[in-house]
Chains A and B, each alone.
Chain A
Amino acid sequence: METFAALAHGMAVAIQPMNLLYALIGVFLGTAVGVLPGIGPALTVALLLPVTYKLDPGGSLIMFAGIYYGGMYGGSTTAILINTPGESASMATALEGNKMAKAGRGGPALATAAIGSFVAGTIATIGLAFLAPLLVDFAVKFGPEDYFALMCVAFVTVSATFGDSPIRGLTSLFIGLTLGLIGIDKLTGQARLAFGVPELLDGVEVTTLAVGLFAVGEALYVASRRHHAEEKIEPVRGSLWMTMEDWKRSWKAWLRGTMFGFPIGALPAGGAEIPTFLSYSTERRLSKHPEEFGKGAIEGVAGPEAANNASAAGTLVPLLTLGLPTSATAAMMLAGFQQYGLNPGPLLFAERPDLVWGLIASLFIANVMLLVLNLPLVGLWVRLLAIPQPWLYAGILVFATMGTIAAKPSVVELSMLAGFGVLGFLMRRYDFPIAPVVVGLILGPIAESQLRRALAISLGDPIVLLQSPMSATLLGIALIALLAPFVLKGLDRFKASED
């Protein structure tokens, strides 16, 4: 039980009053920058890293952990309150979270996000401590064909975001897939659909699309309907806090979200988006209140938020065991370790256990700080919605553009944001679902490049997709998930006609 002793020692270091203060400052700064749409946790850490240089190593690491968690939570806050996902991983949160906020349940939504992140972060940290060596073996064996199969599973589950008409849902999805083609092809370096515009060569930024469709599109839509009965937002209806019922509905979603987030986050190309989608559609399928989905179901916030946070801890698995940053965020964490004199790698756990456990303890403390800082603020946050409508939406638009202005201040990028805003408006007006567009943009390119990698390795032989047991299993799951609804419907009809 050396692990526990080491963790306890790390904790002892991290909870010194000075370090707690650093954690608090870090969480605060991280949240302040992280709330800007388009500035995710990685960028937040990159921008604020210089602030930590001035501290001693221990303090800087703990402040760093605080910034990281603050940045991640900031994205969810805007997703819930103003329907503006700060990063791609909090898109799923916006789907139900914003509906809840509009129904006066922003308090419970923010609370379940914060507590869910905490629960998931804690479980995942324990998982990191005990399962890292096992998980990394699994992660390394995951080849391109397996990723492709995982994407197929994810694609099937997307239908949960389709709404009532499959044709309209698929139309949205294909618009997203088309947008995903734009830019340099990863495998051959050829430009597709860029029409000679250099800014398009890197493709469409997920956050630009999400902020345009969600925030700008909605502002336009609400403005166009102002002459109808004005939509009244009540900041608080019922309890500001989570009720017993909310807790009951949340805790399972937190656990399931963690189960998706941690292992997929540990995969070198797993990322945080896929587990959040998988969690969302799972919650939707399993919920006892499926009719609330699309209108503000708390499970739809609890699950994806937990998945998001757990996947962040998951990325630490390859980072600490293989020394490899597998995401932009992990790359920034690596930079953070380096200033602490830590060189992650296969020997790290053996050579410097004190530092590793110190770091894990810092992450844990930062997670607690996040809860301490944000739960009391929930009441303040939701009151933002009481701002008169003209100022509220004007503020939202300023905020939405500001993320892009800070991250990529180019005319092309801002024009894309406005263009996606118009698209979002038209799609709302003509009743096409929004979320599948973003999902298509995220999943399409990954699925394509993994499939092509698998085929390049096999010299074009598609049988490779079925040879790996993992990919065969995943493709089977995808097929079952695809056909099951039709079969069940058929059975129902069969039964109905028998009656």
Chain B
Amino acid sequence: MIAFHARLFGAVVALSLAASSPALSQQLELKIMAPAAPGGGWDQTARAMQQALVAAKIARSVQVTNVAGAGGSVGIAQFVNGAKGDGNQMMVNGFVMVGALAMNKSPVTLEQVTPIARLTEEIQVIVVPANSPLKTAQDLAAAVKADIAKVTFAGGSAGGVDHVMAALFAGTIGADAKKINYIPFSGGGESLAAILGGKVTAGISGLSEYEGQIKSGKLRALGVTSEKRIPGVDIPTFKEQGIDLVIANWRSVVAPPGITPEQRKVLSEAVEKMVKSDAWKDILKQKGWEDAYLGGDAFADFLKKETTRVTDVLKSVGLVKS
């Protein structure tokens, strides 16, 4: 009990010390919206930012709010309308939101928000069960070309990064992306069971999710979607197997529309400082996230390009009407 009190007391002291510190940035009282329910990737990112920003004394307090709904469509609508011009608010978003906004015909788009920075990304992988006759990405490509209907892909939600990747794979090898037999599952557990149980031909997912299965030999990875080989990961990229498929599931943070350049600068600097802090690095390590910091205009550019690419793919598979 004493130890517990001592810790509580310590925390209180730390908080009040932080509060009395003179540096300007420490006066920051931020609100970060996770446009999803607690527990998911965006929520974890928002809470990780909260932890790092406070631990590194970049902000005095950070409050995380959750606005769940429709792949972030509900959250971004509320963010754009409710937080306009507020320099103390940010929202976490990511790849999935791009597709969700297009598919849900959202009146609010990512063009309206003020880009701050990309934070993390996760490389994607295609796997087959260990006893599958397919050994390489080219084998899979040949199977798809032979009979596209018979090659079933298991992955995450319709229009999400896994689905987009399946369509890109088909498109890249010259097959008709519209005809892919992609079967969305509700979660990694369900799709993994379908792959291990041999119900589907191949599975698509983030690398970290299936890394354990790949290492233990239950799944065989046909390829990863990074530009170059990832150090420490013994899986060939699609590129080196002659298939130009580069994609990553990124997460980023944005600010509301209508903030002043100064406000944008304060937020960008705070995020940049956070990314360099030890607290953030520790969290990345703990969660197994890949640092993919990209700030400023470079990120704004990236966001635009991704939006075009994803929308085009979703149109090609008929999920978004052109």
Contact = CB atoms under 8 A, between A and B. Distances in A.
Contacts of B185: 453
A188 B186 contact: no
B190 A269 contact: yes
Nearest to A205: B68
Contacts of B69: 198-199, 201-202, 408
B158 to A, nearest CB: 4
Interface residues of B, number: 57
Contacts of B200: 457
Given A144-B194, A338-B286, A346 B152 contact: no
Interface in A26-71: 42-43, 46-47, 49-50, 53-55
A424 B212 CA distance: 47
Interface in B168-195: 181, 183-190, 192-194
Contact of A54 (B7, B70, B152, B183): B7
B205 to A, nearest CB: 10
A140 B190 contact: no
B83 interface: no
B263 to A, nearest CB: 26
Contacts of B44: 335
Given A46-B39, A144-B194, A269-B190, A186 B73 contact: no
B190 A339 contact: no
B138 interface: no
B103 interface: yes
Nearest to A453: B183
Contacts of A344: 212
Contacts of B11: 54
Chain A residues touching B, range: 35 or more
B199 A143 contact: yes
B287 to A, nearest CB: 6
A198 B70 contact: yes
Interface stretch (A123-131, A174-182, A323-331, A428-436): A323-331
Contacts of A408: 67-69
A47 B38 contact: yes
A457 B211 CA distance: 25
Contacts of B103: 184, 189
Contacts of A332: 39
Given A198-B70, A341-B286, A21 B183 contact: no
A269 B38 contact: no
A323 B212 contact: yes
A459 B149 contact: yes
**Which of A22, A139, A324, A331 has the largest count of B CB atoms less than 10 A from its CB?**
A324
Interface string A172-216: 000000000000111111010000001101100000000000000
A271 to B, nearest CB: 10
A221 interface: no
Contacts of A86: none
Nearest to B76: A198
Given A53-B51, A189-B103, A268-B189, A347 B216 contact: yes
B74 A322 contact: no
B199 A325 contact: no
A18 interface: yes
A248 to B, nearest CB: 39
B286 A199 contact: no
A473 B196 CA distance: 22
Interface string A132-145: 00000001111110
- 9 closest residue pairs by CB, A with B: A345-B212, A46-B38, A326-B189, A189-B158, A201-B70, A268-B189, A346-B216, A324-B189, A143-B199
19 contacts: A21-B1, A46-B43, A47-B38, A53-B51, A140-B196, A186-B157, A188-B158, A198-B73, A269-B190, A322-B189, A322-B212, A323-B212, A324-B189, A325-B189, A330-B189, A338-B286, A343-B288, A345-B212, A456-B152
